[in-house]
Amino acid sequence: MTRHDLERASPQVSGGVDPRESSLEEAAAEAAELRPEIERHNRLYHVESRPEISDSVYDALFRRLQALEAAHPSLATPDSPTQRVGADPLESLPSVAHAAPMLSLDSAREPAEVQRFDERLRKALGDEEIRYILEPKLDGASLELVYVEGVLERAVTRGNGREGEGVTENVRTIPTVPLRLREDERPVPAFLSVRGEAMMYLSDFETLNQRRIEAGDPPYQNPRNATSGALRQLNSRITASRPLTVLAYDVMVVEGVTFETDSEGVAALRAWGLQTPERVTEADSVDEIVAYHRAFDADRDSLDYEIDGVVVKLDALAPRALLGSTSHHPRWAIAFKFEPRKEVTRIDRIFVSVGRTGVLTPVALLRPVEVGGVTVSRATLHNREELERKDVREGELVRVQRAGDVIPQIVERIDEEERERSDPFAMPAACPSCGTEPVEKGPFTVCPNHFGCRAQLKGRITHFGARGALDIEGLGEETVSLLVDEGLVTELADLFDLKEEELVPLEGFAEVSARNLVGAIEERRRVELARFLVGLGIPEVGVAVARDLAVHFRGIEAVRAASAEALEEIHGVGEKMSAAIKGFLETPDVREALDRLLDGGRRFQFVVPEATEVVVEGGWGGRTVVLTGTLESFSRGELKKVLEGLGARVTGSVSRRTDFLVAGEKPGSKLDKARRLGVEVLDEEQLRERLEGDGRVAAGLPPSEAQ
């Protein structure tokens, strides 16, 4: 269709009939012609970078379609290009299950590791021909796109791999995501689940940051974080203003179409109108894989997007099913990572940061240096022993890298023969926040003033009000810091005595925001006991343990009064964990702070869930298992996930509540204790027999040597 044809087909462009005066049939016919044409120009502009019409002509066509749909609301279909402008804000993002698990990848950094991966596959598949598909490992945010009868139905973040957050309205605004699949080259399937990567091109990211700086807003730290934040906006109009793109690279589930290879699937994605990564290719050998990796690594700094390696996947799909997956990653794919980027800079100063749990962490202030596109000005030195081991001092040259291309860390000191070294840095004799004498716990230096230390108090209040704890809306890190610095909150109990009139004079507050915060805090006087326990920041107590404590003891005072033996009656709580819980709750300043917070039981109404019995076939449901020693054919992490998937609890210490101890080579003291307590001990082969007796998980086990 030529520009003349477009103008003739769209009267609004050439001064034609007002859409409000058109009949529904006339408007429907015009809209049906406009939609695919506008989408074609979207693709030409955003995906293929070869526009055919000017922006002004495109805008006129788009406005014409908007006017038609406004005049005749029944014409506004979910796959209309007008849906890309965003919708009304949501109250929250829903949790949505994936059509298939979105697993992570095992990784390698050396060619020898890729060689071993190749050898494992060849050994497992025997005479099967091995061919790989190679692609860049994009450094963005993983996303699932689901199409039903060719129309985008939902978009879901990766989340925990099984379910994520529904971000459909946000993803509809991304120009490279087709709202309806193309079917001019091949028929669309009845159902299609696609995995892709949401990302920002570096040039677009720089433009976005420049706009923010000019508007007086802080710039984003890196494209990945900016992308993730844009995807999770409750207001999709904000997402629409961000320069996002999505590259699709994997068919997870498809109905009505079959593929023999991953390559065929990628070709189909392109035919259906999805944008795929560049330089996707195939390889038959490790040498070709290494060459591909080396070529991308050499071009890394000139690319307009972030990558942290390349992905190597078995191309044939039938052998993939034979190899299967662990609970964490597929056995038929691997990420061949690049070495972390490193740069040289100088340490200006070393200072100590006090965290929420009282740990004093030495931090190096660096002369700003750009590492992998991110400006780094500080790096953690972790703890006292790590500082002594690296022996870095103020004023010295150091080599810095971004661990996993994200977290800055100092790799090593660079010798300067003619420069005299400064004195070694020593951890302070007093907490820099409250002046309390710190104590040493292993390699860590800790301030024991849990609720009296201002730095710890800020961290503890922030944690107390966080989403996983009491979930107090508006009680973020900046607000907490302001409340503590102004003296309005000197302990947790003060939160529940705040008055609106105290907040209004503070910077950033007004009557409405003050009323909202006080109201949000007031609402949490009725709270789930498990959330309250999480919020207290008790060592070793996460969400699962907190719930078990709540269900078992039914009240906060019962938890506080529980003996170590009573705590160990709970599945998953061993000697070390019970000692940590008991030690924290019995510390004088913690006990006094809790007394004031609870106010004799008058301040809170606790909600406790009813206990439920987990019943899982195969004899593992509710059983407590401890792993010890070195296992030959199992990864400890992999085995833990298999057992947990069967309903078992895998803990770190043996107690009278332990059902099984799995003992590998050099099991240590846990084996002696298990025998003293009469706990059943399984060696690796006995465990394998029991697991393989449960046919539901046999396919998820790593192959034994006998196989």
Q: Where are the domains of the chain?
A: 3-76, 107-337, 340-443, 454-524, 529-607, 624-700
Coil, helix or strand at residue 57: helix
Helices (H), 126-233: 168-171, 202-214, 223-231
Q: What is the 3-state secondary structure (H, E, C) of 582-650?
A: HHHHHCHHHHHHHHHHHHHHCCCEEECCCCCCCCCCCCCCCCEEEEECECCCCCHHHHHHHHHHCCCEE
Res 9 pLDDT > 50? no
pLDDT over 70 percentage in the chain: 87
Q: Looking at residues 278-295, what average pLDDT do you find?
A: 95
Catalytic positions? 137
Coil, helix or strand at residue 233: coil
The per-residue pLDDT for 212 is 75
Residue 472 has a CB neighbour count (10 Å cut-off) of: 23
Res 5 pLDDT > 50? no
The per-residue pLDDT for 14 is 39
pLDDT over 90 percentage in the chain: 40
Query: What are the pLDDT digits (tens) for 550-579?
Result: 988 999 999 999 998 889 888 668 788 899
The per-residue pLDDT for 327 is 67
More confident site: 522 or 57 = 522
Residue 275 backbone zone (phi > 0: left; psi -120 to 50: alpha; other: beta): beta
Res 625 pLDDT > 90? no
The per-residue pLDDT for 632 is 65
Residue 561 CA: distances (Å) to CA of 212, 570, 602, 611, 673: 53, 15, 18, 20, 27
249-253, 260-264, 300-304, 686-690: the lowest-pLDDT one: 686-690
- The pLDDT-based confidence of 705 (bands split at 50, 70, 90) is very low
Residue 286 has which token pair? 């490790």
More confident site: 252 or 405 = 252
DSSP 312-347: EEESBHHHHHHH-B-SSSBTTEEEEEPPPPEEEEEE
CATH topology of domain 454-524: DNA polymerase; domain 1 (1.10.150)
CATH topology of domain 3-76: Helix Hairpins (1.10.287)
Q: Looking at residues 482-503, what average pLDDT do you find?
A: 93
Res 618 pLDDT > 70? no
The per-residue pLDDT for 452 is 85
CATH number of 107-337: 3.30.470.30
Which CATH number fits the domain 340-443, given the four candidates 2.40.50.140, 3.10.310.30, 2.60.40.10, 2.40.110.10?
A: 2.40.50.140
The per-residue pLDDT for 29 is 84
Residue 5 backbone zone (phi > 0: left; psi -120 to 50: alpha; other: beta): alpha
Res 699 pLDDT > 60? no
Q: What is the 3-state secondary structure (H, E, C) of 498-543?
A: CCHHHHCCCCCCCHHHHHHHHHHHHHCCEEEHHHHHHHCCCCCCCH
The per-residue pLDDT for 300 is 82
More confident site: 110 or 641 = 110
Res 369 pLDDT > 90? no
> Contact at 8 Å (CB) between 231 and 197?
no
Residue 360 has which token pair? 């004093």
More confident site: 282 or 676 = 282
Cα angle: 144, vertex 150, 152; to 5 degrees: 40
Res 6 pLDDT > 50? no
Q: Looking at residues 629-646, what average pLDDT do you find?
A: 69
- The residue count for the chain: 707
Query: What are the pLDDT digits (tens) for 190-205?
Result: 999 999 999 999 888 8
* The CATH number of domain 624-700 is 3.40.50.300: no
The per-residue pLDDT for 423 is 92
More confident site: 702 or 298 = 298
Please state whether beta strands 660-663 and 624-628 pair in parallel, antiparallel, or not at all (unpaired): parallel
- The pLDDT-based confidence of 50 (bands split at 50, 70, 90) is low
Q: Which residues, at least 6 apart from 327, have a Cβ–Cβ distance to it below 8 Å?
A: 638, 641, 642, 645, 700
Averaged confidence pLDDT in the chain: 84
Q: Which CATH superfamily is domain 529-607 in?
A: 5' to 3' exonuclease, C-terminal subdomain (1.10.150.20)
Q: Looking at residues 379-386, what average pLDDT do you find?
A: 86
Res 78 pLDDT > 90? no
Please state whether beta strands 281-283 and 107-108 pair in parallel, antiparallel, or not at all (unpaired): unpaired
164-178, 309-323, 667-681: the lowest-pLDDT one: 667-681
DSSP 158: -
The per-residue pLDDT for 98 is 93
3-12, 191-200, 287-296: the lowest-pLDDT one: 3-12
Q: Looking at residues 487-511, what average pLDDT do you find?
A: 92
- The pLDDT-based confidence of 685 (bands split at 50, 70, 90) is confident
More confident site: 81 or 151 = 151
The per-residue pLDDT for 73 is 81
- Do 454-524 and 529-607 agree at the fold level? yes
> Contact at 8 Å (CB) between 334 and 120?
no
